[in-house]
Structure 1
């Protein structure tokens, strides 16, 4: 599962866990530290109370009591009304009865008080050196810790920002945008990757341009003499020679047209112009391209609307129908179509190899005069461009080529 998480998401998760861990740690620390502080305070007041109660048994003088006040840093509360307020409104933290007497610890208006009782003695003592729990220092340390984590997070995100930008540019390139320009923004490993990828893009663009220029020039240079040769062949008187030459030149012309189609659909600059149209319109356009008698094709179509590049899809359907007629035993093909799939069915022998073999360019079981091995390759490529699937099956003497739409 971790392998499928993006680097950005992984970093966010790590730092989120770190922040949560710090908060939990500080919360536990504060809780334990407060308990420790309360225990220390309790022990201190127990010592003070036991000392005063021990002295009370000896009937101490005022000077003896003053020495104890100074020693333990406490002050006698003489105001009777204040004593009552502390007893009635103060928060009692501890009540303890010993063989020496009883004592209570109160907190009132953020001050600590010790109330000791023994026989005729009844003293309310204010702690002048109460060690109040100071959480401000801990909060300051927590803020510094979180600030350090946040600083490291920002630094790391900034360091990885060029990688995210590089990924966006690579995505554009994979979708056919060859005009991207990647400029390295650092001299680290990410900068080196950006530099090398930019060099690779430049090389690919140069090779693509060279290939396109070669293909265009080659097809242009071949098209002109073929056209002239076909025109000259028309003037021949020998009918047999005339037909042989016309057939040869037509084959050459068809090869050029198929190569042009392959060049278009495999080019990275190729764009599909999709539109919502009915399948019947595509089918009718396909028949116009094929220019054959309708007796060769039978159809069962439940018309539907879908979004396709009508020109490319018509070429793909034409190739399937052409193959069905050329390689069938009765030179007939049947097409069955609905919104889920399109089946092209023809009578004939089963394919010798799996479909993947025939969808590679120039793949044939044997050399034929009426095929170039590009038909199914073109069909598969066009289906991939639309997100459809091409499948094959053989049933009861019939070949089924299926376009799965959904």
Structure 2
């Protein structure tokens, strides 16, 4: 029997295949149009370059006309000859570019022939015309020269017109080809979209019917949950289908919520018990303070208030962990240790001995892991019989060591809220509970062992 997931997988695969085909057509269209655009741009540029050659041809005609007209004025002749030399130099520079941008062998030969005629015009102006200017006495002497020049200039004009007509015809063909290509692509896309829509409609109708049947059963189970005050959804919606997983997850959520409520009820009972002692102390000290202003009693009252504040902060911190989300990043163990130490008020740095053998990288939520390590260091300093305490880093673990008596119970006992040693007067029994919650959030491991004279708490990564 095919499940809803399998049906969806098959249908989405078919639709994805069509979408990929559409994307492929789209990119093929972009590529093709880009190539057409490049070709058109190239031809437009080539037309402009050829048009520029016509300007050169006209310029040479004007230069010749000026020289023939004012051949007796040598200053005019020299200026025009100088101008023609500049134009010929520019023409030489453009020759390579124009010929290289030709698209066919015939076009290339045509352009080479044009430049040959320009070279002929150059020789006519530079040598023959200049010689005529020096020896001629009347305008009749220029008749043969004009005939040669007009012949070359006319041939250049004719060849340039042919070149422009050729390029324009190629542009027209490209434009026609582009329009035909776009029309074909439009038809193909319409067909693909129609197939995708039709396929999606047929498959989604069948899958929707299957899901609706299952959801009706699930809805009955939810209504039963509210009516009969059940703790879990009890309805048979079959096996090997996705709604079985949803039902399982809903039941798991309901059970988790029930556990959270139970945990909070237990926590509130413990909080009320824990707050009774410091509040009673504060009341007693306040009564005494009314009668006599004693600095020692004021300090004691301040200590009680700090104790209540610390307890409140730890309770809030513990409650936040129930809904915390891990935001992992990569950082070194040395960074974690330094940030943890910076959050502690340490009056004497000699009380801590740091040994980092292997400063390895950790991938975790730095904010929460800093809180966990800070609590371990704080506990080690608070309950140490003598200093310094030791923080050691090697291989894949961070160890926090202090000289103290071995714990009387297993580690699991102290990770429960409000648990501590029978003779322990300081602390509230929440530190290790918070540490353990954070370590579990990251799937790391909290370990304890005793190696005389050290209690050793380790975070194993």
More helix by share: 2
TM range (shorter): 0.3 to 0.5
More strand by share: 1
Give the number of the structure with larger relative contact order, counting CA–CA contacts within 8 Å between residues 6 or more apart.
Answer: 2
TM-score by length of 2: 0.40
TM-score by length of 1: 0.45
